[in-house]
Structure 1
Amino acid sequence: MTAGVSKARVLTVHTLNPRRAGHPWSARADKLQSITGLMLGGFLLLHMHFESSILLGKEVFYQVVQLLEGGMFSSTGHGFPWVTKLFSVLMLAVVCLHAALALRRFPTQLGQWRQLRAHLGSIAHKDTHAWFWQLITGFVLFFLVPVHLFTMILNPEIGPHLSAERVYHDNAWLLYGLLLPAVVVHAMIGLYRVAVKWGWVQQRAPLRKLIKALIIYLLLLGSASLLAYMVIGQGLSLPVTPFVPGGG
């Protein structure tokens, strides 16, 4: 009898031991994934609004680019393209880290996908369906985001004419047309899930409405910006001359 009690106590202690029940790296990985997700989601919000300055005219977009590239530290007022290159390298590193952490929960076998689809079809849980769409868009972004960032690393020159040339004459609109909905949906659902995961919000319904509104708003903003680049690019003749304030 005593031996049985002792054995039960040993099992209980071992079971409740966090190092035995689960590897401590799992919790750290969750936190790191959330942190990198917040960084990328915040960057997306800023990036799309900076890009949309083209809607206010070439001059405004040009000034925004010079500001972001440190033009105030240049004697000519022109920014440094290497700033864009360096920032693109850093963002690529964050994206790779975030993707590596997210792959821990990615279904890797056909049977797992079938079980997931069957599970989704049998429940009407909104957060689970949102997670599924984040999973799908994450898979798409795994291929599209590196292409975009490598483009900016290899050719960091940005401007009303140069960006329009990339979009229209280099057919980058194909990439951005796929990238826009995938990255917006993935990022906004990700921000929602981080807020819920760490208990920052108690009422999920209002947050869902806010996220849906942000998705629609960002899709419209991004589409309008992409169309503006297309219109500008269509009016440019090759070889493209960089935009100069006051020169058109």
Structure 2
Amino acid sequence: MTTKTYVPNPVSPRVLGHHWSAKADRLQSATGVLMGVFLLFHLHFESSILLGKDAFYHVVHFLEGSIFSDDGKGFPIITQIISVFMLAVFVLHALTALRRFPTQLGQWRALQSSLNTIRHSDTRIWYFQLLTGAALFFLVPVHLFEMIQAPNIGPNMSAERVYHDNTWVLYALLLPAVVVHAVFGLYRVAVKWGLTFQRHKLRRFAHGLMIYLMVLGIASLMCYLLIGSELTLPVTPYSPS
């Protein structure tokens, strides 16, 4: 006759899980989706410079509430408010994501071993998110603080910042990191919360979206560099003729 002996679990219930852990997961996903969607709109708004200075000028001032201002130029403080809000969202996302960041040498070795032996696509996607997230931890605050301190946006002022202030270096590092992190992040949220079960098709779409956003961002950056190279200092804000 076989008897079963039940031994109390020596592990603390807090180690097995906590209701705050589930809330942190939801908060991480929500803030990630918010930033991912914001990036999609942001890159397309920025790319309006490809249609000419007038197009970018009108897009910027429309987003800054030009229809509500007497001079039709909008309110630059809106850019500051949005930047402060996105900085807060970024900090909240980073705090919830740091829970899963490997902090010990043994964890990094286990991760590398898993990547080399299992060859699992979603594990590699998580690894890329880990690397790009670490880079964005330093790059994103610099960009947002820049927008908070100098909210004046326009064809000439933005081009001056990119070309004469050499912020193209920041954007060249920020663009690939944020595109990869955001697109893969949206993919992982869709899979994690059961929004789709077609992982292969969704991965193909994610790869295509990354290529598209990279081309769009690089083209916009090159356009700002070209405009900036033609400006003479001191730069005056652009006004449509």
Name the TM tier (shorter chain): over 0.9
Distance 2:35 2:100 in 1: 19
2:217 corresponding residue in structure 1: 222
Return structure 1 stretches of 4+ with deviation > 2 angstroms: 18-21
Deviation at 1:21, TM superposition (A): 4.2
Shift of the alpha carbon at 1:85? 0.5
> Structure 2-normalised TM-score?
0.95
* Alignment match of 2:198 (pick from 203, 211, 216): 203
Alignment of 1:134-213 (within 5 A): 134-213=129-208
Counterparts in 2 of 1:37-186, with a 5 A limit?
37-186=32-181
Q: Percent identity?
A: 62
Aligned equivalents of 2:14 and 2:158: distance in 1? Answer: 52
Larger radius of gyration: 1
Pair 20,101 (structure 1): closer, same or farther in 2 beyond 3 Å: closer
Q: Give the C-alpha shift of residue 110 in structure 1.
A: 2.1
- Aligned to 2:226, which of 222, 228, 231? 231
Unpaired stretches in structure 1, ≥5 consecutive residues: none
- C-alpha distance in 2, partners of 1:22/1:236? 58
1:33 aligns to what? 28
- Please provide the CA RMSD for this pair: 1.9
CA distance in 2, matches of 1:178, 1:241: 28
Alignment coverage as a number of residue pairs: 239
Higher helix share: 1
Quote the Cα distance in structure 1 between the aligned partners of 2:114 and 2:222. Answer: 40
Amino acid at match of 2:159: A
Aligned amino acid, residue 71 of structure 2: T
1:22 maps onto 2:27 in alignment: no
Q: Say if 1:238 and 1:29 are closer, same or farther in 2 by CA, change over 3 A.
A: same
Q: Distance in 1 between matches of 2:144 and 2:193?
A: 30
Cα offset, 1:111, TM superposition: 2.3
Letter of the structure 2 residue corresponding to residue 98 of structure 1: H
> Do the aligned partners of residues 61 and 20 (structure 1) sit closer, same or farther apart at CA in structure 2, a change above 3 Å counting?
closer
Structure 2 unmatched runs, 5+: none
Partner SS state of residue 210, structure 2: helix
CA distance in 2, matches of 1:228, 1:90: 28
